[in-house]
Every structure is written in structure tokens, then in C-alpha cells.
Amino acid sequence: MMSKTASPSLGPTQPFAVTFGFVEKYLFSTIMEKDPTGKLEKDSLDRVAPGGGGVAREEMPFYHHRHTNPPPNRQKFKIPRKRATKLFSEINEYAMKKCKESKPEVFDVPFKPGDAIEIVQVNNGGVNSTDMQTVRGVMLGEHKRGLGHGVYIRDMVLGEAIERKIQLYSPLVKSVKILEKNFVKKGKKKIKRAKLFYLRNRPPSECRVTQERKK
């Protein structure tokens, strides 16, 4: 005859407690086989069992997954892509430094957005060519990107607006000269913007730097 006494319901933590108790008893029996007297070292007796007969923490399962301090001489693994990016940036910085030192007539000129500037560059024949080309225009802004650093200049030639991007680190660029400071505002008002792209929507005559020759 079955007893009418209802069995206690298992709580949410009881299945885990039963499993943990089984593993704990198994590990404790293993240790007792190695040390029947039960005289384990005190520094390794960090008991965790509620009944007083637990196991050493170092011999618990998954103990090696605990967060511990890394070794002092540990070297962090670096992704090859990041290492290559850092090396490439160092090479770019070195090349930019050498280029600035070799071309003071380009990088020591204090031109700003809104100034009318004149740039002399090689037209044809390579770096050592004597075939030079002079371009003029109003500086609209800069595009700063390492060795691709360039300036936008806008001019009006034969009634048409012409906009160019000149890369200053290019070996074809020989010199930069300021024709007029604050050409856009004619010196009446200070220019605070770093980009003057709104001039693209203005009449082209506002950016005319090159004067047409009279016949």
C-alpha cells in the first residue's frame, strides 16, 4: 500500500545540489583512497561541502577556469593585420617627415582656406623634367590623409569654373605661393570655416584668380 504522504517537490536549485553532491562524494572518495588517514595539508583544505567532508579547491572540477592573474612576462598576441597597419603607419610618417624636410617651399608656406594661391608642378616628363605648369585658384579646403594630403583649389578659366585637387606630397609639386590673403572676403571679414565648398554654388567669378589676357 502506497503511503499518502506527498513527496517534497524539487525546487529550482535541488537538481543542481543533487548533481553537485554526487560529484563531491566521488571526488572525496578518490582522495580518501590516496590518503586513508585523512591528514591532508591544511593549506589545501579549503572545504566547500556543507557536511564538512569536502575536497580541496585545487582538486575541484573546472577549477582551472577561474580567473587568475596572468604571468608577469606574458606577451599579448597581436593580430597580423594590426601589426601590418602599425608598421605601415610608421613608414608613412617617416616618408612624410622626409618630404617636409626636402620641400620647405611647399610646406613652410602659411596658406589658408580662402587665399588665392599659385602652385608650380611638373606638366610632363617625370620628376626631373623642366616642363612646368602653373595653376592658380582659391583654396577651398584641405584633404588630410597621410601621403594623400591635398588641397582643393577653384578657378575660372575661359568662363568655366575649374576645380583641382593637388597632392602636396607628390614629387611633381615644386612650390606654392600666396597671391592674395583672404581673397574671398577681400580682407573685410575673417574666414572661420575650414571648408569653403559653398563657393561651388556661387557665381564662378567669385573664384576667378587667373585673369584673361586682353586681345
| CATH fold of 97-207 | SH3 type barrels. (2.30.30)
Q: pLDDT confidence of 142, banded at 50, 70, 90?
A: very high
pLDDT at 98 over 70: yes
Distance CA 188, CA 106 (A): 27
pLDDT tens digits for range 52-68: 456 666 666 655 555 55
Distance CA 164, CA 180 (A): 19
Domain range summary for the chain, segments of one domain joined by +: 14-65, 97-207
pLDDT at 42 over 70: no
Is residue 97 within 8 Å of residue 90, measured between CB atoms? no
Residues 47-53: what's their mean pLDDT? 47
pLDDT at 15 over 50: no
pLDDT at 152 over 90: yes
- 13-22, 97-106, 163-172, 181-190: the lowest-pLDDT one: 13-22
Query: What is the Cα 19 distance to its own chain's centre?
Result: 49
pLDDT at res. 7: 46
- 35-39, 127-131, 159-163: the lowest-pLDDT one: 35-39
Please give the model's pTM, rounded to 2 decimal places: 0.59
pLDDT at res. 160: 87
